[in-house]
Structure 1
Amino acid sequence: MASNDLFNILSPDSIAIIGASKNPAKRGYRSLRKLLDDGYAGAIYPINPNEIEICGIGCLPDLGSLPGPVDLALVCTPAATVASVIAECAAKGVRGAVVLAGGFGEAGDGGKRLQHAVLAAARAGGVRIIGPNTSGMFNTHKACNLVGFSDLRKGSIGLLSQSGNMALSLVTEAQANGQVGLSTYVGVGNEADIRFDEYLDYFAADPKTNVVIAYVEGLKDGRRFLNALRRISLEKPVVIYKSGRTSAGRISAKSHTGALAGEYAVSEGVLRQAGAILAHRSDEILPMAEALSLLPSLRSRRLAILADGGGHATIAADALSERGLALAPLSEDTRRRLTAELPPAASVINPVDVAGGTDTDPSVFAACAEILLQDPMVDGLLISGLYGGYAVRFSQDLLAAEIDATNLIGAMPRRFGKPVIVHSLYGALQADQRPLPLLEMHRAGIPVHSSLETAVRCMQALAERGEVDHTFALSLPKRAQHGGIFEQVLARCRAEGRRVVLEHEGRASLRDFGLDLAPALLALDEKEAEEAFLRLGAQPVAMKIVSRDILHKTEAGGVKLNVVDVASVRSGFLEIVANAKAAVTNPNVTGVLVTPMAAKGGVEIIVGVVRDAAYGPIIMFGLGGVLVEVLRDVVFRALPISRNDAFTMLDEIKAQAILDGVRGGTPVDRDALADFMVSISDFVDAFPDIDELDLNPVLAYPDGLAVLDVRILLTESSGARSPLKEGIEA
């Protein structure tokens, strides 16, 4: 079924309520009553063989008695009956069904069998299933409320949630304080049939929805979700709250990359990559979505602050900086015009403090706001202080001037194409108790918040959306056409029954694929080690054990650095092998790798790839070396990545300033790093048998980079993984 066909289910013209009831405590009654009370215009068919009528509507004894096909069935019967009910729906041409009951896949083996039976009946008859184990759905524009929430405000925010209580929380918040209502809500439940990605495609096509909120606990098919998220994010903002930020990593720590790929860290990277705006607190979800729905996105992160007190001006400036936003430098003309409007004590250097200039004439706020928004360096405005409460604070004689100022400010986002958000001390009051100017500001579509931090977080969301708008285009990297050496390595590994690609094999494979790695020679005994040293120019070398049984070479005493003469090379070989045999019982030792020492200096980084259970192959970048698992300063993206993805990863690590040089140091070659990361993406994309790839450390220099260690693990068998070529859709 195409995504648009979900309109027949989520915007139904006819509804059958299977298990309709006269008991007010049951969903079969409450849903019917709500449809009637809200004025649902479509046909309603209560089905209950034991009742003649419910709420004044005649009951049908069974689905077979329906007069014709029905768009949606609300199934209010126990889990054990659902499979047969769905089969009856199919026979009668019902397009979709909301299955409320629990006791399916979430309830053990027996529940899984029930869910399988329901799904089989649905697919055999072409019935789409919402749920099971769902809180239901509503469509405010259709007056179709099959959840039972009261006083829903019609609006343009779509909502998907894996938690009914979370949905109730957002609905309640919208009723109490919100400016924008909801369009369609779906409790996705167990996703036995219709999954998250299909709902996203529905919202992408729904003209009544311009922003989507998704509360996500886990994803059954993360790759399809990312593809759908990328599609909708091209057109509409999606705010995601992903729970489980503190859960332990789900991937076996056989490499640094695997150890660091915790669930939320991965989700944060790949969801941002696909265009999501991430909420980190539950109380910022709805404000962010409303700001995105009401206001134009920020063209840059440069903002102006207009405050009526030095305290709020300072706090606002701190909050902006902490969120990665910037105070715009004001032009000389802007400062001159502000000076003309404000008293001598005012500060006209951003943040602008009116210093009492509005106490007797609130219209000055509108004049200053206009001046600031006309400055080409200012792309958004945050108003902070007691705005909206001047008549309350000083005199009712100021009310008319404040309302006039509000009307002028309310038109400015459309007039200038720049967002305006108000932080007001009086915004904490319930909507019906707020001063009239704030109510007018609401009606004008300007978000008003009592929390300065929430107001700034909304500005940050608008900046993030602006960056999506301007840079969101995935250029899939050009696929390399070589890699014959790794094909040979792969065949050899499978024939020998090993998952570990030995380092000399991995290095040779990457060099064959076009990456610039230093030469490395395998020595089988001390004489070959001496020959390798001489072939490499008798320069200082590093020597490392090569064994399928030893992944962490340093811990096993299998590494020697700065070996500078023949005698040391020979003795080093013997010592390394002896250490390996002492560290591991009967290790399979292939030999010792001899490679030139890398140039001194450089920033130690790590680049790795691991396969995530939800999102498939993901690439990691961060600070590397021996402290990588202590610092954990890493970021993730789903494969394949574009060059733009690579650059954003460089910018997102906490210590990214190190890449730009510290204490007078020279910046690393970011272009070389980005190209290197895309090449690694290409390499793994070309070979789906790679399970994990770990390059740590890689030394990043001002003029290139050096790979010091290569680890590659294969999947259990050649057919265990699906190819990566599906990727993320452009």
Structure 2
Amino acid sequence: MKNRPLDFLSPRSIMVVGASANPAKRGYNAIARLLSDGFDGPIYPINPQLTELRGLTCYASIAEVPEAVDLALICTPASTVPEIIEQCGAAGIQGAIVLATGFSESGPAGERLEQAAVEAARRSGVRLVGPNTSGMFNTARQCNLVGFQDLRQGSVGILSQSGNMALSMITESRRHPTLGFSTYIGVGNEAEIALHEYLDYFAHDSDTRVVATYIEGVRQGEAFLQSARALSTRKPMVLYKSGRTPSGQSAARSHTGALAGDITLCRGLMRQAGVILVERSDHLLPVAESLATQPSARGYRVAVLADGGGHATITADEMSDRGLQLAELEPATRERLRGLLGPQAPVDNPVDFAGASDTEPGLFADCSELLLADPGVDGLLVVGLFGGYQLRFSTTLADVEEQAAQTLCRLQKQYGKPLVLHSLYKHHNTEALQRLEAGGIPVQDSLEVAVHCMAALCQYGEVQQRPSPAPNLRREALTPLKAAAEMLDAVIAEQLRVVTEDKGRALLKLYGIDTGETCLIQDETALRAAARDFGERALAMKVVSPQVVHKSDAGGVALNLRGEKALLQAFQRIIDSSRRYRNDARIDGVLLTPMAPAGGVEVILGITRDPQFGPVIMFGLGGIHVEVLRDVSFRALPLDAADAATMLTEIRAHRILEGVRGQPPVDHDALIELMLSLSRLLQAHPQIAELELNPVMLYQSGLEILDVRILLTEKPIR
């Protein structure tokens, strides 16, 4: 049933169950809207009290309708829905939209009613949108079952967990003269159709070029990411996600768990899936419009053409914040620009007219052609007053601006590069600005929005160019190594969740991860023998106890120990301190490891199981700085090498990994291989809830793992 396509969202026939003669009811408004919009298929009102409505024959029951219908709009109270869905199934109806409230959002009784509706849908083979949904529309079919007015047909699809957010986008679109919509789906409670199934529908909908999505949460996060990734290979998906505050789950156990609820997790996972994430609701529609009308960029090198230094500076700052680069113009380009603008004009990028355009706004087109023709430019941002020179200076400039606008549209198509334009005069909607919009160049009234649109075009260009995931990369569990499974089963048999560090290091070694030289010490005799074996090397000593997770907090760590005497003193101090910290702690001994060489870079690698998206991996600066700086990157598991490499460049401090102040770059290959090995380990052992290596010391050649923490799930994962 779940594999059945959602073709009914492009219906050729519609039934309205609960049709009404009352203009205040949805059962009347839906039929009136279908008729006024020119829906060209049959409409079947169902109401036993009526024989005719708006010129249509009414039927007393679903069974009396003379043919199978694609879609039923159910406008009746919640209590009637399960029985109506059974009747829809018996009549061969493919899908039903349930508008009523009073289901799972209302409490336990509503949850039971919703479950009954879902069971009826599954028994009868009816796909169910909602309940508690605002409805849907499909402009290509003239099917408006929401009641939104003045819908303009176009190529932007909307998928939303909020009817009000959809309404705000429809309302905002009136400020964009050429922006139109294809299909809107209000998912409601998502009782039967999951969010990712709607993404699959949009992926194959030929009327949709970009999908604008609003979500608050995801129930089947792993399936959502897979569908989003498949969708993004075909067309852009823009997402605004609310509810981005930290969940706090597992915060007491690891840094990874504490940070996983942060918006940083959403950023990383959406980038991995190829989704364009916006973090302001008023950016969602402009970004979607740009992606629907503009070609994507081949890189992140952007030229800026401005008619004022202030706007140029703000644009450059905003570009830096969004990861865009100021393109380095070729000498020939700069020379030609100087010939157009005079010796006083800055032409290094940003290019500033320095007043030359005040009397000749046609220079916008001339300079844009030079910049778009430059092979080092991937996209062009034009910012300032264009379209308003006729208002700011002289009405005689109107014709010049209109001709320049036509030329800009031609140039954008000729060079196949994105051109985003910002104008202070957008709301004046001059003829020049109208020609730009009609030619596929949206005009933005905000510099920040304009830069965000360009950044999205660059990001989607990256998505289109990235390689497909490795064919052997699967989300299902790998076969675990027998020795590793037995080790974890033994911990579970003791009704423990914490895997002590000695066992954790042994587990990593089974999967080919070098954890260095270690020695578990349980008494002073063994400690003296270890002191002789290690000689004068500096050692670290840590308590080993399933009840002492944060060893430093318990006084369970001693560093830079040399010689037998220092080891014996530290051993007793750690045991005593750990017992004071947790008097019921089982002390298995201490772990001795050689101190890591100086000069490395501390990073953290952590894996946790996010309640929405499943297993995720985190990378960032390590040691004590991770929660303070929060400079981390996330990806969903399983991980491939390309995802891992991107994570390393995503943190703000990524230049440290390349070597700064005379330090050599770290061994990226060793770090990426460690990340891939951890991904395979988690795939093989779903009983691992969290795994954290903090810190890992990175060197020019190789790395060393200084601390290992592993936490098992409370309940087995099947």
- Quickly name the TM-score band, shorter chain normalised: over 0.9
SS of aligned partner of 1:94? coil
> Alpha carbons of 1:82 and 1:4: their partners in 2 closer, same or farther (altered >3 Å)?
closer
Contact 1:476/1:640, CA 8 A, preserved across alignment:
no
What is the Cα deviation at residue 327 of structure 1? 1.4
What is the Cα deviation at residue 362 of structure 1? 2.7
| C-alpha distance after superposition, 1:567-588 (max 9, x if no partner) | 2222322222122212112211
268-277 vs 625-634, which deviates more?
Answer: 625-634
Q: 1:588 matched to which residue of 2?
A: 586
Equivalent in 624, 627, 630 of residue 629 of structure 1: 627
Q: Does 1:445 align with 2:440?
A: yes
Distance (Å, rounded) in 2 between the aligned partners of 1:702 and 1:65 = 78
Contact 2:246/2:259, CA 8 A, preserved across alignment:
no
Q: Does 1:528 align with 2:523?
A: no
Distance (Å, rounded) in 1 between the aligned partners of 2:260 and 2:336 = 53
Contact 2:473/2:638, CA 8 A, preserved across alignment:
no
Q: 1:638 matched to which residue of 2?
A: 636
| C-alpha distance after superposition, 1:39-98 (max 9, x if no partner) | 000110111111222222121111111111110000001111101111111111111100
Contact 2:73/2:98, CA 8 A, preserved across alignment:
yes
| C-alpha distance after superposition, 1:365-402 (max 9, x if no partner) | 21111111111001111111211122223333322222
> Alpha carbons of 1:571 and 1:478: their partners in 2 closer, same or farther (altered >3 Å)?
farther
> Alpha carbons of 1:226 and 1:478: their partners in 2 closer, same or farther (altered >3 Å)?
closer
99-108 vs 485-494, which deviates more?
Answer: 485-494
Q: 1:291 matched to which residue of 2?
A: 290
Distance (Å, rounded) in 2 between the aligned partners of 1:354 and 1:5 = 55
> Alpha carbons of 1:151 and 1:20: their partners in 2 closer, same or farther (altered >3 Å)?
same
Q: Does 1:495 align with 2:493?
A: yes
What is the Cα deviation at residue 478 of structure 1? 7.3
SS of aligned partner of 1:589? coil
Contact 1:161/1:215, CA 8 A, preserved across alignment:
yes
> Alpha carbons of 1:13 and 1:478: their partners in 2 closer, same or farther (altered >3 Å)?
closer
Distance (Å, rounded) in 1 between the aligned partners of 2:4 and 2:704 = 50
Q: 2:227 matched to which residue of 1?
A: 228
What is the Cα deviation at residue 246 of structure 1? 2.4
What is the Cα deviation at residue 620 of structure 1? 1.0
> Alpha carbons of 1:122 and 1:415: their partners in 2 closer, same or farther (altered >3 Å)?
same
One-letter code of the match for 2:20?
S
Contact 2:473/2:640, CA 8 A, preserved across alignment:
no
Give unmatched runs, 5+ long, in structure 2. Answer: none
706-715 vs 146-155, which deviates more?
Answer: 706-715
> Alpha carbons of 1:472 and 1:394: their partners in 2 closer, same or farther (altered >3 Å)?
same
Q: Does 1:66 align with 2:76?
A: no
Q: 1:347 matched to which residue of 2?
A: 346
Q: Does 1:436 align with 2:435?
A: no
Q: 2:320 matched to which residue of 1?
A: 321
What is the Cα deviation at residue 512 of structure 1? 2.2
| C-alpha distance after superposition, 1:419-477 (max 9, x if no partner) | 111111111x1xxx411000011100001111111111100111111111112532367
Distance (Å, rounded) in 2 between the aligned partners of 1:335 and 1:268 = 37
Q: 1:124 matched to which residue of 2?
A: 123
Distance (Å, rounded) in 2 between the aligned partners of 1:298 and 1:146 = 37
SS of aligned partner of 1:28? helix
Q: 1:17 matched to which residue of 2?
A: 16
Correspondence list, 1:472-491, <5 A: 472-475=467-470, 483-491=481-489
Correspondence list, 1:250-399, <5 A: 250-262=249-261, 264-399=263-398
Distance (Å, rounded) in 1 between the aligned partners of 2:473 and 2:533 = 36
Distance (Å, rounded) in 2 between the aligned partners of 1:477 and 1:565 = 50
| C-alpha distance after superposition, 1:112-168 (max 9, x if no partner) | 100010011111010000000100000001000000000101011111000000000
Q: 1:5 matched to which residue of 2?
A: 5
Q: 1:184 matched to which residue of 2?
A: 183
What is the Cα deviation at residue 34 of structure 1? 0.5
What is the Cα deviation at residue 249 of structure 1? 2.7
> Alpha carbons of 1:517 and 1:537: their partners in 2 closer, same or farther (altered >3 Å)?
farther
230-239 vs 404-413, which deviates more?
Answer: 404-413
Contact 1:277/1:464, CA 8 A, preserved across alignment:
yes
| C-alpha distance after superposition, 1:609-648 (max 9, x if no partner) | 1111111111111112123222222221110111111121
Distance (Å, rounded) in 2 between the aligned partners of 1:169 and 1:310 = 34
Distance (Å, rounded) in 2 between the aligned partners of 1:188 and 1:310 = 46
Q: 2:696 matched to which residue of 1?
A: 698
Q: 2:466 matched to which residue of 1?
A: 471
Contact 2:103/2:113, CA 8 A, preserved across alignment:
yes
43-52 vs 487-496, which deviates more?
Answer: 487-496
How many corresponding residue pairs? 715
> Alpha carbons of 1:383 and 1:108: their partners in 2 closer, same or farther (altered >3 Å)?
same
121-130 vs 627-636, which deviates more?
Answer: 627-636
One-letter code of the match for 1:150?
Q
Q: 2:516 matched to which residue of 1?
A: 518
Q: 2:94 matched to which residue of 1?
A: 95
Distance (Å, rounded) in 1 between the aligned partners of 2:613 and 2:480 = 27
539-548 vs 662-671, which deviates more?
Answer: 662-671
With normalisation by structure 1, the TM-score equals: 0.95
SS of aligned partner of 1:61? coil
SS of aligned partner of 1:266? helix
Distance (Å, rounded) in 2 between the aligned partners of 1:15 and 1:240 = 30
Q: 1:688 matched to which residue of 2?
A: 686
> Alpha carbons of 1:2 and 1:404: their partners in 2 closer, same or farther (altered >3 Å)?
farther
Distance (Å, rounded) in 2 between the aligned partners of 1:118 and 1:60 = 23
Q: 1:458 matched to which residue of 2?
A: 453
The alignment-based identity, stated in percent, is 51
Contact 1:77/1:101, CA 8 A, preserved across alignment:
yes
Give unmatched runs, 5+ long, in structure 1. Answer: 723-730
Contact 1:4/1:205, CA 8 A, preserved across alignment:
no
Correspondence list, 1:592-603, <5 A: 592-603=590-601
Equivalent in 606, 611, 614 of residue 612 of structure 2: 614
SS of aligned partner of 2:213? strand
Distance (Å, rounded) in 1 between the aligned partners of 2:234 and 2:531 = 59
Q: 2:152 matched to which residue of 1?
A: 153
> Alpha carbons of 1:178 and 1:198: their partners in 2 closer, same or farther (altered >3 Å)?
farther
Contact 2:686/2:717, CA 8 A, preserved across alignment:
yes
708-717 vs 113-122, which deviates more?
Answer: 708-717
Distance (Å, rounded) in 2 between the aligned partners of 1:326 and 1:593 = 48
One-letter code of the match for 2:18?
G
| C-alpha distance after superposition, 1:491-538 (max 9, x if no partner) | 321332222211111111212211121111111101112222333344
SS of aligned partner of 1:627? helix
Q: 1:114 matched to which residue of 2?
A: 113
One-letter code of the match for 1:320?
M
Correspondence list, 1:232-243, <5 A: 232-243=231-242
SS of aligned partner of 1:299? coil
Equivalent in 648, 651, 661 of residue 650 of structure 1: 648
What is the Cα deviation at residue 252 of structure 1? 5.0
What is the Cα deviation at residue 676 of structure 1? 1.2
> Alpha carbons of 1:221 and 1:521: their partners in 2 closer, same or farther (altered >3 Å)?
same
Equivalent in 536, 543, 563 of residue 545 of structure 1: 543
284-293 vs 364-373, which deviates more?
Answer: 364-373
> Alpha carbons of 1:361 and 1:323: their partners in 2 closer, same or farther (altered >3 Å)?
same
SS of aligned partner of 2:553? coil
Q: Does 1:661 align with 2:671?
A: no
Distance (Å, rounded) in 2 between the aligned partners of 1:261 and 1:434 = 45
What is the Cα deviation at residue 186 of structure 1? 0.3
Distance (Å, rounded) in 2 between the aligned partners of 1:239 and 1:612 = 22
What is the Cα deviation at residue 592 of structure 1? 1.1
> Alpha carbons of 1:245 and 1:2: their partners in 2 closer, same or farther (altered >3 Å)?
closer
447-456 vs 670-679, which deviates more?
Answer: 670-679
One-letter code of the match for 1:66?
V
Distance (Å, rounded) in 2 between the aligned partners of 1:21 and 1:251 = 52
Contact 1:31/1:148, CA 8 A, preserved across alignment:
yes
Contact 1:526/1:569, CA 8 A, preserved across alignment:
no
Contact 1:73/1:96, CA 8 A, preserved across alignment:
yes
Distance (Å, rounded) in 2 between the aligned partners of 1:216 and 1:295 = 25
